[in-house]
Chains A and B, each alone.
Chain A
Amino acid sequence: MESLRGLTSSPENAYDELVTGQKSIRYHWQGILSVIRALPGGGLSERVESARRQLEESGATLNLLDDRGKPGWTFDPLPFVITPNEWTALEEGLIQRAALLDAALADLYGPQALLAERLLPPMLVHANRHFLRACRVTDATPPGRWLGQYAVDLVRRPDGSWQVLADHTEVPSGAGYALEIRRVLARSLPEVFRSIPVRHVRSFVDRWHNSLAGLAPDGVAQPTMAVLTPGSLSQSYFEHVYLSRALGVPLVEGGDLVARDGEVLIKTLAGLRPVHMLLRRLDSSFTDPLELRADSALGVTGLVEATRTGKIALANALGSGLVETPALMPFLERLCRRLLGQPLKLPSLDVWWLGEPTAYAFAMAHLDSLIVRPCLGQDREPIVVGMLEGEARRALEQRIAAQPGDFVAQYPVAPSLNPKWDGQTLVPSAVVVRCFVIADGASWRVLPGGLAREPAGDTPLRQLGRLSGTLKDVWVLAEDAADVQIPTSRRFHQIAIDRGSADLQSRVADNLYWLGRYIERLDNDARLLRTTATRVAQGVVGVREGIELRLLGKLIDRAELMPSQAALATPESAAFQQGLAGIASDRHGLATVLDAIQRLAGTLRDRFSADMTIAVGPTMNEVRDRLLDARGNLDALIAALDEIIRFVATISGLAQENMTRGTGWLFLDLGRRIERAQFVLGSALGPFQQSPIDWDAAMRLALELCDSTISYRWRYLGQLQPAPVLDLVVLDDSNPRAFAFQMRTISSHLDRLAQASGTRVPDLLVALDKDLARAVELFAGEEKSWRHEGLALGVLREIASDGLVRLEELSEAITRAYFSHVPAAQAVGSMPAMAAS
């Protein structure tokens, strides 16, 4: 009970990071403030705005949304500053703590001497939901390291000393945000970084890469590594993408991996490739449906067994969340002496585990002034007892009395106050500092920086796992200029040059292919609707427009862009016009295509450049809003459709100019080409399939839908004849909208994929152009010979429908060859009668 003494923390006497007790500005802040005051132009406000915009565009604020869909955090430009001397001590304490928790995990998942020697209450292990019994090391190879990454939340006490608020060992997140915030801040406030010696954080990523390589199993010369993510719906997916890029390793989901004979392999286009080290961002309990949560669809069946063989290492090892419980804190001092033979350097928060009778009695006597936290189950949110009344208060007492060991108690925390920019001036706000530690050979390394957070809610203990509230940079000041930056030489592995990128995950190839198809479908749909809307917008529907609109209605129906009864109604009818006006809001048609693009682009965010991310993110949202706003207004609708077509052009441009022509690009483009080929044969030639055919309408629409009207006019001065029209939209392989162009490109893509992956998909379209050429030739004769429904039209129709079938078969062949469409996994054997009797 020594820890109870001298605890008088309250917000009134909180430590002030900016001002000393004598009301003077602390020395290290004077320089920073003078640079900020001297900022030219719009001053700090302008810089903050630019930084916020950059963070938004990078996607850092995505996914971390609160319940109302607003970004869950905001950014503040004023850093938390740590002086060199202070940092040295802090760093030592953090390194010691990482070593301590690592050693504690090794014992608790191994011999459990700490329990036998009565140094730690067994309940903190046995009743802890993070204790995964399947991960107990009995007869297998123990992990070399339990913690490859570790994050700590710290506060500065009123007396200026540091105290640990929380340990994050299961999935220690935040480092990616810290690095990104620093990058953005350095771009927004270069003047400050020029004059203040802030230690750089960039080299940390290089270190981290080496650190992970060092954690890989022994005997692997060039370990393959990957970041394991729960997927794009995860709260901190931005960080998973960020780390995978910064570390230069692929981002994988459970579905990308298989475990086989103790090895873990990535499913790629070129087959299965072993992976040796996973930076784990997926909660342990979800990683293996065989031995952990059977209901997890995010894991890898057999992963636990693979870790037992020692051929795969995970950072952190499975089950590492065990030592996150705050109930461990009161025992860390003696654990440190036992496991490391040293006194604990960095004190923890003063919490008491109520499973000890003295702590329990004290807590119950002083309950009103305390914060109580459940410490072993899923829910670990703090309860500020003083705020409870009547029944709720009695219920809490009963809960604690029934299971005192499930709770810890403590006095409220009073973090130090740091300046914050409120738009006009500096205001003090309480901050918690998160520091990051990684394994480094036999030792540990601390990120010289971090992430400061002004916690939301009534106590900084709320939502410890989430990055919410206001986030800010942490600056560690350098002793002298020589200390700034200068990454020490990296242990450099010779990396083979690789341009084939057959290592592309099958799942990613699948998503890129369909993204390509949906982007093209969006373009086609928008063109079809625009063609229709411009005719309707002319007001009076003439005879010619009437015929064309009826044909377009059929195509719109085929593409499911309007309800059938509207699409097939007469163009003058209210039903048709209302259907057209409502295309934006309908749950089918354009909306589903936009949804599909958004979903697929979300899963592919890790593969896109910043510009592409903006295009499929904010830009696409604007396009969608525009379309929704246009409901009922034909002119606005046409403008919105124009915008969609321009949006697709932007994406095409980016894909064409900014993506390397690797296998990923090939799949994206293959999807587009196959979709466009279908559009030419199905929609653009659709009016040729009608009986009786209206020749003029069919020819005009074919040109317009293939965006070839101008080219035709240039070549043939406007006189419409079927042979030149069909030549331009079907056979001319210099016209990027013509069928032949798609065919040639598809064939070349299939060749390149076969070379890169070793798997060949036969070109099912082969000779289709010859057949089409034969059909078009039949139209080249006398007008009399083709104007009636004769041979020529019959042959054209037959070949077009054969082409559509072959395109469908080709798409299926690509799917079978390259995309891992494994049947759904299911759990068996948890049935009653298995043990029933």
Chain B
Amino acid sequence: MQYLLSHRTTYSYASSVDAAHHIAHLRARAFPGQKVSSISITTQPQPAMAVQHLDHFGNQIDIYRIDQPHQRFDIEVRAAIEVKFPDPPPAAATPPWEEIRKALVGDGFPAPVEASEFVHESPLVPIDEALGAYGAKSLTPRRPILEAARELMARIKADFEYHPGATDISTPLHDVFEGKAGVCQDFAHVMIAALRTHGLAAAYVSGYIRTVHSKEEIELRGADASHAWVAVWCGEAAGWIHLDPTNDLVAHEDHVAVAWGRDFADVSPLRGVILGGGKHVYSVAVTLVPTG
């Protein structure tokens, strides 16, 4: 599926900002499931400095410095992206989850090294007993990893209420779990914690999901904003499988990935440090148009 993307973020400040630095994870990365044929970012006001780098995870980052006083900051990314995640293998054919874990522990020397990074707790995803117990219900002995992970995803969708405003980024994951409500990033963090507590590797993926406007279809949650889901390591043969616990979906053609890391903190789309500004409000507008 091919898409045209426009993602615009606006900060409005109560008083003038003298200078600002921003760091963005907004440039969609390319990988075997995704081709990025064009991508550009514009900002208003114009930055005094703009640089691009690759981060530790291979994501693209943009760093901006704005040195003129402003009361409003706009940043817009436009991109043409083609998505086709490879079909996942039959869930029953994936290895038992204990084998995956064994390889990831590896007596101290795990295989593969890259996947093993996503086994450890991270700033927003602590190892948590209650979440471990939650995950254990799906991780029954010798169960194929993808089967277990898909069931876990389905349970999260069923057990948690999608409720914007129920949480914010400072809500500890344990409280999200107790409250059984949140937004896509909470759903993703819950699933990641449930898997990592059992020694499995799970990454946080930020991106977008296609909006379906037809009346007959159920409108998929998370439309017209950024989205987040989970990539689960399913062994050397199957690799990373992208699972969306907010919608109980395996990513195929409706998900556009931007960046991945251990949790939201590694890949937050836009953050910054400003001088002045007072209180601020921001708005986000995403349009993801399928073009064939």
Contacts and interface: CB of A to CB of B under 8 A. Distances in A.
A133 to B, nearest CB: 4
Interface stretch (A286-294, A501-509, A698-706, A739-747): A286-294
Interface stretch (B76-84, B150-158, B262-270): B262-270
B245 to A, nearest CB: 12
Interface string A592-620: 00000000000000000000000000000
Contact of A831 (B67, B127, B164, B169): B169
Contacts of A38: none
A794 B282 CA distance: 58
B272 A290 contact: yes
B275 interface: yes
Contacts of B237: none
Given A122-B117, A139-B53, A835 B272 contact: no
B271 A830 contact: yes
A571 interface: no
A835 B273 CA distance: 18
Interface in A107-138: 112, 115-116, 118, 121-123, 126-127, 133-134, 136, 138
A244 to B, nearest CB: 27
B246 interface: yes
Contact of A829 (B18, B120, B272): B272
Interface stretch (A54-62, A350-358, A530-538): A350-358
Interface string A84-125: 000000000000000000000000000010011010011100
A832 interface: yes
B273 A301 contact: yes
A823 B276 contact: yes
B191 interface: no
A827 B109 contact: no
B41 interface: no
A79 interface: no
A825 B275 contact: yes
Contacts of B274: 825-826, 828
Contacts, number: 156
A830 B169 contact: yes
Interface string A194-213: 00000000000000000000
Nearest to B117: A126
A713 interface: no
A832 B183 contact: yes
A836 interface: yes
A260 B48 CA distance: 9
Interface in B219-278: 221-223, 225-228, 246, 264-277
Interface in B159-191: 164, 167-169, 171, 183-185
Contacts of A403: 127
A133 B25 CA distance: 15
B101 to A, nearest CB: 14
A7 interface: no
A767 interface: no
Contacts of B168: 831-832
A434 interface: no
A308 B53 contact: yes
Interface string A136-159: 101110000000000000000000
Contacts of B267: 835
A579 interface: no
A833 B164 contact: yes
A310 interface: no
Interface residues of B, number: 63
A289 B271 CA distance: 10
Contacts of A305: 51, 63
A261 B280 contact: no
Contacts of A308: 53
B55 A133 contact: yes
B45 to A, nearest CB: 16
A835 to B, nearest CB: 5
A355 B280 CA distance: 47
Given A138-B53, A835-B226, A836-B185, A122 B116 contact: yes
Given A123-B108, A123-B116, A139-B54, A835 B184 contact: yes
Contacts of A405: 108
Interface in A279-300: 289-291, 294
B206 interface: yes
Contacts of A133: 55-57, 266
Contacts of B185: 832, 835-836
Nearest to B222: A837
A822 interface: yes
Nearest to A836: B183
B273 A826 contact: yes
B225 A833 contact: yes
A825 B225 contact: no
Contacts of B275: 822-825
B290 interface: no
Nearest to A837: B222
A231 interface: no
Most buried by B among A122, A290, A402: A122
Contacts of A294: 271, 273
B6 to A, nearest CB: 16
B18 to A, nearest CB: 6
Contacts of A497: none
B273 A122 contact: no
B273 A827 contact: yes
Interface string B110-144: 10010011001100000100000000000000000
B184 A836 contact: yes
A355 B108 contact: yes
Nearest to A121: B108
B116 A126 contact: yes
Interface in A782-837: 822-837
Interface in B49-93: 49, 51, 53-58, 63, 65, 67
A686 interface: no
A127 B108 CA distance: 12
A759 to B, nearest CB: 19
A38 to B, nearest CB: 59
A326 interface: no
A837 B108 contact: no
A589 interface: no
A133 B270 CA distance: 17
A302 interface: yes
Contacts of A126: 116-117, 120
Contacts of A831: 168-169, 282
B203 interface: no
Contact of A835 (B51, B206, B209): B206
A812 to B, nearest CB: 19
A86 B116 CA distance: 44
Contacts of A822: 18, 275
Nearest to A826: B274
A123 B119 CA distance: 9
Nearest to B223: A837
Given A122-B116, A261-B48, A261-B65, A836 B268 contact: no
Contacts of B57: 133
Most chain B CB within a 10 A radius of its CB, from A112, A302, A357:
A302
A444 to B, nearest CB: 29
Interface string A401-437: 0110100000000000000000000000000000000
Interface of A: 112, 115-116, 118, 121-123, 126-127, 133-134, 136, 138-140, 260-262, 289-291, 294, 301-302, 305, 308, 353, 355-357, 402-403, 405, 822-837
27 contacts: A116-B113, A122-B109, A123-B108, A126-B116, A139-B53, A139-B54, A260-B67, A290-B272, A291-B23, A302-B65, A305-B63, A353-B108, A823-B277, A824-B275, A826-B273, A827-B272, A828-B280, A830-B265, A830-B268, A831-B169, A832-B168, A832-B171, A833-B225, A834-B226, A834-B282, A835-B226, A837-B183
Given A823-B276, A834-B226, 5 more contacts: A261-B48, A291-B23, A355-B108, A827-B273, A834-B269
5 A-B pairs with least C-beta separation? A829-B271, A837-B222, A823-B276, A832-B168, A836-B183
